[in-house]
Amino acid sequence: MPTLTSQANDEITPPLIIAGVDYESRLLVGTGKYRDFDQTRAAIEASGAEIVTVAIRRTNIGQQKDDPNLLDYLSPDKYTILPNTAGCYDVDSAVRTCRLARELLDGHDLVKLEVLGDRKTLYPNVLDTLKAAEILCRDGFKVMVYTTDDPLLAKRLEEIGCVAVMPLAAPIGSGLGIQNRYSIREIVETLKVPVIVDAGVGTASDASIAMELGCAAVLMNTAIAEARDPVRMARAMKHAVIGGREAFLAGRMPRRAYASASSPIDGTFFN
Amino acid sequence: MELILNGERRSLSMASTVAALVSELNLQGRFAIEVNGEIVTRSRYAERRLDAEDVIEIVRAIGGG
């Protein structure tokens, strides 16, 4: 019996496409803040994510031999590794970080650009973000860009060639959830490239809301890593993203001011 | 020869090229190297000579969001 249903589902659940590559999962996850690499790997497996972000930092000279390496736990053969420019507060350091990452990953040129404004809010510095994005796009990078939820700026970032635009739901690591649904919705409706909510998700319902607004995907780290049980939360997020996406595709019922009975009014045996 | 390696002044006796530096530091696994702000691709490690006071960054991937 499942044939008709599954055919219909295949037709209406197209994959996430970033820079010409298909992904089945619409959940992207970070790899920071976990207890150890075993927990990192377990949580990421449970999340079903195919794209995982990493940071680029100095090696510990002299501790190389026995130092475990993140990429031994998360193989670039299995996952799409998305290096970020976290911690960069200016154009130059962000661009250098991306170039080092490309060398590190054998020419893999998909990057998550973030140029931050200040340490208290970790808000994007949108002027420098724009400048860095222009340089990186010209240099052949496929740029997934972290930005504010400003619709006009999001459009500009698409126009200069970014392959995905990633507005924040709320400040990085805050877990406050989507603070401006109107802006996110507006960005989704205006852009052609995938719009991915990045940062600020706190729990499963936040991820579902992002997807119900029509976002192509959600990127998160702290919401999973700082949960009491990260592996379970990773699983919750996987389902939340799938549920939110399905709800968006299904099209929700209209909101009404008053009740509308679900059981027929006709045929009751009482008065 | 003295180099600035990952922000620290280091005296390295045999690091005449990037390849020699990698060997002297016994670097393992995935890393990327920048000398004076410019990437040195793996294929150029042997030919890229180092001079005293060169500023070298050696990076890897770590957990991040």
CA end-to-end span of chain B: 38
- Contacts with A, B 4-63, CB within 8 Å: 5-8, 10, 25-34, 37, 39, 41-42, 57-63
CA-based nearest distance A37→chain B, Å: 9
Domain boundaries, chain B: 2-60
CA-based nearest distance A213→chain B, Å: 23
Q: pLDDT averaged over chain B?
A: 94
Contacts from A49-52 at CB under 8 Å and sequence distance 24+? A49/A25, A49/A79, A49/A238, A50/A23, A50/A24, A50/A25, A50/A79, A50/A80, A51/A18, A51/A23, A51/A25, A51/A79, A51/A80, A51/A82, A52/A28, A52/A79, A52/A80, A52/A81, A52/A82
pLDDT digits (tens, 9 = 90+) for A129-187: 999 999 999 999 999 999 999 999 999 999 999 999 999 999 999 999 999 999 999 99
Say whether A112 is catalytic: yes
ipTM tops 0.90: yes
For domain B2-60, the CATH class is: alpha beta
Q: pLDDT averaged over chain A?
A: 93
pLDDT value at residue A63 = 61
What percent of chain A shows pLDDT beyond 90? 89
If residue A143 lies in a helix (H) or strand (E), which one and from where to where?
A: strand A142-147
Mean pLDDT in residue range A108-117: 97
pLDDT value at residue A62 = 72
pTM of the model: 0.92
Cβ count near A118 (within 10 Å): 9
pLDDT value at residue A1 = 43
Whether A58 contacts B61, CB under 8 Å: no
pLDDT digits (tens, 9 = 90+) for A196-252: 999 999 999 999 999 999 999 999 999 999 999 999 999 999 999 999 999 999 999
Answer whether B61 sits within 8 Å of A56, measured CB to CB: yes
- Which of A35, A103, A196 should we substitute to test contact with B (largest number of B Cβ atoms within 10 Å)? A103
Question: In terms of CA atoms, which chain A residue is nearest residue B64?
Answer: A32
